[in-house]
Amino acid sequence: AEGGGMQVTAAKLPKFADPAISVNQLDDEAAAAMLQAVDGIKGTSVFSFRGDRLLKSTPEGALKYIARRNAVFLGESHSSRDDKLLMKSILVELSRLRGASSLAVGLEMVQMPFQPILDWYVYRAPISKDSDRTLFRESEWAQRWGWDYDNYLPVLRYCQLKKIRMLGLNAEEEATARVRDGGLTALTAEERERLIVDAEGFVGDALEPSFPTYVDAVLRPSFAAHVDMGIFPSGDDNTFRNFVGNRILWDEAMASTAARYLAQHPKKLLVGLVGGDHVKTGHGIPSRVERILGNLGMANARTASVALNPSWKLYSQSKTLVELKKVRQALSERQRAEA
């Protein structure tokens, strides 16, 4: 990672003024269907980490905890429709606890330059399939994200109906592609200042003693999967180094976008929908948001990480705490012993 001693002042931060809110017209039956929490959250199993222990919690307790944060990031599997339905249910419950006007939703799926189309969709577009199609087309979803758009519609439509601000969190592909090919030095000065609010903290994070463990535990398996899918032509050291640079830029840019918004709207709760890897360990987006907000002058900024329907390893401070295959294997062995 590279960076200088860039000082950030409020004057340098883009303004995230919420547009004037209009009221979309919707018949009562359609409104009731949109507002319904899909499958609800009451029967959901919830676990939380206390130190290095995994404890059973309750949906109500988890929601109250989340509602007191500045930001919560929900880690999803991009191919899972169930994850999006669960997020929609969480949004419904948080709207009940805090009020929809106190919420904002951050999306990994939409890149920063496409913020105007998100604002149009939430505040000015009629609620219709034509508006859904316009958002898909104008955000260049197919080219820049690619995962099934229909799976995300329950979240997008709920935000539109309830006038919940949606933020495009991600750095633009034009910048990240250059980093994938040439490393972080390929960024221009303008891009570094815009995408990395806290340059010193960004460099410091990569120098933490726990960072190599995070790279091996989280990033290296992800890199191997990308190589297997043919996204990278080879798994050599230089390609992996640029992959790591790109991933930490991705996380830092999303954290910077979220922190800028929260610094200007300190009473809001930002709910981020991002891939599962981005919420793991003290080097994921949530910890980066806390660090950036602290350096911007927000005392005691608090975030939370949530794994939606996890089928992947759960980590805390780069230590593997739960591996579902091993848990299932142990249970099977116990059952066989008791038979």
pLDDT digits (tens, 9 = 90+) for 8-18: 333 334 455 55
Q: How confident is the model at residue 178 (pLDDT cuts 50, 70, 90)?
A: very high
Q: Please, what is the average pLDDT of the chain?
A: 83
Q: Tell me, what's the pLDDT at 5? A: 30
pTM score, whole prediction: 0.81
Is residue 332 included in any domain, yes or no? no
Nearest to 59 by CA among 45, 69, 75, 71: 45
Q: Tell me, what's the pLDDT at 28? A: 44
Domain that holds residue 147: 43-172+255-320
Helix axes 149-162, 129-138, angle to 10 degrees: 110
Q: Tell me, what's the pLDDT at 53? A: 60
CATH number at residue 156: 3.40.50.11550
- If one counts the domains in the chain, the total is 1
Single-letter amino acid, residue 150: D
| 102 three-state secondary structure | helix
| Mean pLDDT value of segment 123-141 | 96
Q: How confident is the model at residue 41 (pLDDT cuts 50, 70, 90)?
A: low
Q: Tell me, what's the pLDDT at 179? A: 95
Is residue 8 included in any domain, yes or no? no
- Whole-angstrom distance, CA of residue 255 vs CA of residue 279: 11
Is residue 211 included in any domain, yes or no? no
* Phi, psi dihedrals of residue 58, rounded to the nearest 5°: -120, 150
pLDDT(21) > 70:
no
Q: How confident is the model at residue 27 (pLDDT cuts 50, 70, 90)?
A: very low
